[in-house]
Chain A
Amino acid sequence: MPDATGLELIAQDLRAADSDAVLGTSYFRDEATIEVAPAFLRTAAEALRARGYSFMASCHGVDYYPDEPRLGVHYQLLDMANVDRICLMTRVPIEQPNVPSLCALWPGANHPEREVFDLFGVIFDEHPDLRRILMPEDYEGHPQRRDFPTGGEPVLFTYNEDKVPGWTR
């Protein structure tokens, strides 16, 4: 992990490129996180990649309900040479959940971003193949959001198929 000072230096460099890019930094339990505005996600990722964080280890979606902006996307970047990790994150409101896709930088972002789209409804602009991955194609809603209710779905049998809403032969 970069230490707290190293994190600030990285953030400073990103700010030097564009003063609005970095929204905040946090250093928590020895983990460094940089929050950027969605519009600057790709340039920030490119800058971090050029610094050596050249491996995208993971991409998580989060719902910060009830805080605004609600949806968050985290990219865990890894520098294999120095064994160093940094988290690049951005937050978008539910009304306009658009985030630039990082598939152009890391082809491996394809499946994880599709997962975040599927479960949270974050729309990754310029993603080559943005469609549901875990849920069925005809599923409605984004189940991992905090206000999505848990509970069962009716199981279809021949005796009740006419009674299940939204289902017609």
Chain B
Amino acid sequence: MTVSDYRKQEESVTLSSEPAESDPARPLDQELMTINMGPHHPSTHGVLRLILTLEGETVRDVKPIIGYVHTGIEKTAEDKAYWKVIPVVERMDYLSYYFNAYAFCGAVEKLLEVEIPPRAQYLRVIHMELNRIMSHLVWLGTSCIDLGAISVWWYCFREREAVLDLFEMSSGQRMHTRYFQVGGVIEDIPRGWVERVRRFTKVMRTRADQYGALLDKNEIVLQRLRHTGVVDEQTLLGLGVTGPLLRAAGNPWDLRKAAPYSSYDHFDFKIPVGTIGDNYDRYRVRHAEIYESCDIVDQALDGLPEGPFITEDRKVALPPRHELATSMEALIHHFKLVTEGFRVPPGEVYHPIESPRGELGCYVRSDGSSKPARVHMRDPSFVNLQATAPATRNSYVADLVATLAMLDPVLGGVDR
């Protein structure tokens, strides 16, 4: 391809469309200006590039351009045995790694028809809810920086460190823990972990109270968030938006309640919903979800069943280490699992779960071998990003920054 061909192709890309609500009868007050925001802009939460069509200070059109951190994880996954895919899918949405791992493991477990022991299900719930708290803390901290309040960021990251310490204690890693396995979790929780989690949830509730005291009635926060970025429920449903954004618009859709998985039906929790779907509702919904997650964690710790933490099916899960010294069969299973991995019956499944950002679904197609034929993540950030344009059209650039923060896209998940 010659340079001119490339230039031609590049110029054929429509970087901005005519503003949707431009009225031919009303001439524009000012000339339209097309400018770039990002990809290296601190308030785009990663490498998101927005092409803005501005009329003065007013945003007339927004086009998100993505793909700057596309790493081909789905292609990589096709080249790895099922259990080796877990660490790569965890790196997609880097703030909700337990969810990515669970979406994938759940899909494979559905194909294999493995029964998950109750203790493993509870341990998964505890870790996923801690992860949800952690993700919301990062969201709250970074969003408040965008609104000009740096102190909230320090407070949120203080609590986030506490969650990461818990993850480090249970799995040895702070991020991308590889704790969930097909069939259960990799090992049981260490002694003393339960007490530390209980101490954390107790502290977290008072800390969340403090965030609320700092922000809920803060005049600057109210000015920036109330009645900005409003999108109504029907538009959101048409765009496929799920999670806190949809709940902020008043639709209580939450997969943990609607289609409970991993024993979520054992716990008593509420689904916070908003009323008009503006940025303030989005903030309040996520803030309230922190309390609900604390409640779920506490209930799961109270009812944590005894028993195995991973399935006893030796064709799927590694045998305990001590058996290798005495049992030939265990040694063979261990060897087969580590070298080739387990084979999965052919078929296609879709496993949706509720991540901190909405419906995270994993589609897995197996051709009967020990490597997946296709892994696709329906990442909520990727779909929710489509709500940027309806949420920010005809608002000020400053409101766009606030709205983008409240949409909470994670670009690692968007680009995969």
Contacts and interface: CB of A to CB of B under 8 A. Distances in A.
Interface residues of B, number: 48
A150 B347 CA distance: 24
Contacts of B386: 107-108, 110-111
B239 A60 contact: no
Interface string A146-167: 1010100000000000000010
B413 to A, nearest CB: 12
Interface in B232-276: 237-242, 253, 258-259
B350 A76 contact: yes
Interface string B383-413: 1011000000000000000000000000000
B240 A55 contact: yes
Interface in A67-88: 74, 76, 80, 83, 85, 87
Contacts of B349: 28-29, 31
A131 interface: yes
B2 interface: yes
Closest 3 CB pairs of A and B: A108-B240, A58-B378, A108-B239
A31 B350 contact: yes
B187 interface: no
Contacts of B72: 143
18 contacts: A28-B347, A28-B349, A57-B352, A60-B363, A63-B374, A74-B363, A76-B361, A76-B363, A83-B258, A108-B241, A108-B383, A111-B386, A112-B383, A132-B67, A146-B373, A150-B75, A168-B2, A168-B3
Considering residues A57, A74, A135, which has the most beta carbons from chain B within 10 angstroms of its beta carbon? A57
B350 A54 contact: no
Given A29-B347, A56-B240, A138-B10, A111 B383 contact: yes
Contacts of A119: 74
Nearest to B17: A129
Nearest to B236: A108
A134 B14 contact: no
Contact of B75 (A31, A58, A144): A144
Contacts of A56: 240
B238 to A, nearest CB: 5
B382 interface: yes
Given A57-B352, A60-B363, A107-B239, A138 B382 contact: no
A108 B113 contact: no
Interface in B1-47: 1-3, 6, 9-10, 13-14
Interface in A6-26: none
A135 B65 CA distance: 11
A109 B241 CA distance: 11
A60 B382 contact: no
Contacts of A37: none
Contacts of B10: 137-138
A135 B67 contact: yes
A137 B350 contact: no
Contacts of B347: 28-29
Interface residues of A, number: 46
Nearest to A89: B348
A135 B415 CA distance: 9
B350 A87 contact: yes
A129 B16 CA distance: 11
Considering residues A107, A110, A140, which has the most beta carbons from chain B within 10 angstroms of its beta carbon? A107
Contact of A129 (B9, B14, B67, B79): B14
Contact of A137 (B13, B241, B259, B373): B13
A60 B376 contact: yes
A54 B237 contact: yes
Contacts of B343: none
A62 interface: yes
Contact of A28 (B14, B348, B382): B348
B239 A134 contact: no
Interface in A40-66: 54-58, 60-63
A62 B365 contact: yes
Considering residues B74, B76, B241, which has the most beta carbons from chain A within 10 angstroms of its beta carbon? B74
B66 interface: yes
Considering residues A63, A134, A137, A140, which has the most beta carbons from chain B within 10 angstroms of its beta carbon? A134
Interface string B344-365: 0001111010000001010101
Given A55-B240, A129-B14, A138 B1 contact: yes
A166 B240 contact: no
B70 interface: yes
Contacts of B258: 80, 83
